[in-house]
Amino acid sequence: MALETGLKKQLTILGSTGSIGIQALEVVRNHPERFGVEVLTAQNSWDLLLKQAIEFQPNAVVIGNPDYYSRLCDGLEKYPVKVFAGEDAISQVVDMEGADIILNALVGYAGMIPTYTAVSAGKRVALANKESLVIAGELIMTEAAKNGAFIIPVDSEHSAIFQCLVGEDPRSVEKIYLTASGGPFRGKNRNELEIATIDDALNHPNWKMGDKITIDSATMMNKGLEVIEAHWLFGLTPEQIEIIVHPQSVIHSIVQFTDGSMKAQMGVPDMRLPILFALGFPERIPTDINRLSFLEYPLLTFEQPDRELFRNLPLAYQALEVGGNAPCILNAANEIAVQAFLERRLPFLGIPAVIEKCLEMMPHIQKPGLEDYITTHHQTTEKANQIISEQLWKY
Ligand code: MG
């Protein structure tokens, strides 16, 4: 694994038109001497992808939805940018030579096979797609170790833990605390959550993010997924991973060591910081991003998450304990339930109810391979849709 310093690095950004992709390109725009763009990909946003391609002049672009292929080709006619289309092309560009870092900013299950392909090719992966590790963490970490690939987290909590662990012996870690803002429904009661609307759920107090992760924050499934992500990234048991609600979101996470000492990583809640760290590591690249002013945060507070109201938290721990394909089932059920909530086919509290039902009903596989994960995902998707349309869930 090459970690040369001072060299310009070429990036492949999967999902360049999403929230993380756009912020990553802002980082590239501000540091042209450090980063260049090799490949950009988008699912449907061909017009933004076109603008990005004209500005950053990558070697290639991929549009997942082939319906937009000809429009993209027309727009890039005068430029030396190759254009590909289709879901398969996204996985294929991942192991192209020329990219030093693959930033996986895809949302949900769609990111899993590209992560697997990238680590199989021994690439350095800046991972924003936490679902990759939730679905197939064991397989991806094994494959990464086998091929000398290096996964560096972009998720702010995991970036914080990674930063706290630099220079430390992993055996000296006693436990970690993943901080959670608590989302827009912190402190609410069951009656309030029963009638929670999409607008309420999308109104996150501290972070500006895409719709899927914002709903995941409101249900606290985001933190559940992050527990599973941390398990695989840092080799910790479920008992070593604790969630603490910290509404100000300036402590991004904490490591507690065997001598009783603790290290926390802090900063303003701005995703450009963990993106820049992941792309620049082992260097810290100077920026003018806002500095945290302690006087603006005279009070930092901490509380226990409400595990009875936010049932996704115990469900995520349960899936992690059961292991095998259980986290894959959890993730697939969550993706369908969140989509149904956004389409007004499922109430807010129906989300964990659908996930619980899927965990009960789907067959368990203790040692899944890649094909088993793909099958589990698709079968759970079908099952979750059936549970929602036939109203088989209850809370
Ligand atoms: Mg996070």
Of all residues in the chain, what percent carry a pLDDT higher than 90?
93
| Token pair of 335 as six digits | 């993706």
Q: Confirm whether pTM is higher than 0.85.
A: yes
pLDDT of 1 strictly over 50 = no
pLDDT in tens, 168-197: 999 999 999 999 999 999 999 999 999 999
- In this predicted model, what pLDDT tens digit does every residue of 213-261 receive, in sequence order? 999 999 999 999 999 999 999 999 999 999 999 999 999 999 999 999 9
pLDDT of residue 83 exceeding 90, the answer is yes
The answer to the question of residue 44 being in a domain is yes
Around ion ligand 1, residues with a beta carbon closer than 5 Å are: 155-157
Q: According to the model, what pLDDT value does residue 2 have?
A: 47
pLDDT at 3: 53
Residue 94 lies in a domain: yes
Whole-number pLDDT of residue 256: 98
In a domain, 177, yes or no: no
| 353 within some domain | no
Q: Is residue 21 part of a domain?
A: yes
Q: Which domain holds residue 70?
A: 9-153
Say which CATH number the domain at 85 has.
3.40.50.720
Ligand 1 centre to CA of 331 (Å) is: 16
* Residue 5 pLDDT level (bands cut at 50, 70, 90): low
**Model confidence pLDDT, tens digit, residues 318-353:** 999 999 999 999 999 999 999 999 999 999 999 999
Distance 253 CA to ligand 1 centre (A): 10
How many domains is the chain partitioned into structurally?
1
The answer to whether residue 381 is domain-embedded is no
Evaluate whether residue 368 is within a structural domain.
no
Q: In this predicted model, what pLDDT tens digit does every residue of 346-382 receive, in sequence order?
A: 999 999 999 999 999 999 999 999 999 999 999 999 9
Burial code (b: 16+ CB inside 10 Å, e: under 16) for 300-315 equals eeeeebbeebbbbbeb
Distance from residue 102's CA to the centre of ligand 1 (Å): 19
Residue 226 Cα to ligand 1 midpoint, Å, equals: 7
Mean pLDDT of 2-14: 81
Centre of ligand 1 from the C-alpha of residue 157, in Å: 5
List the structure tokens of 260: 């009783």
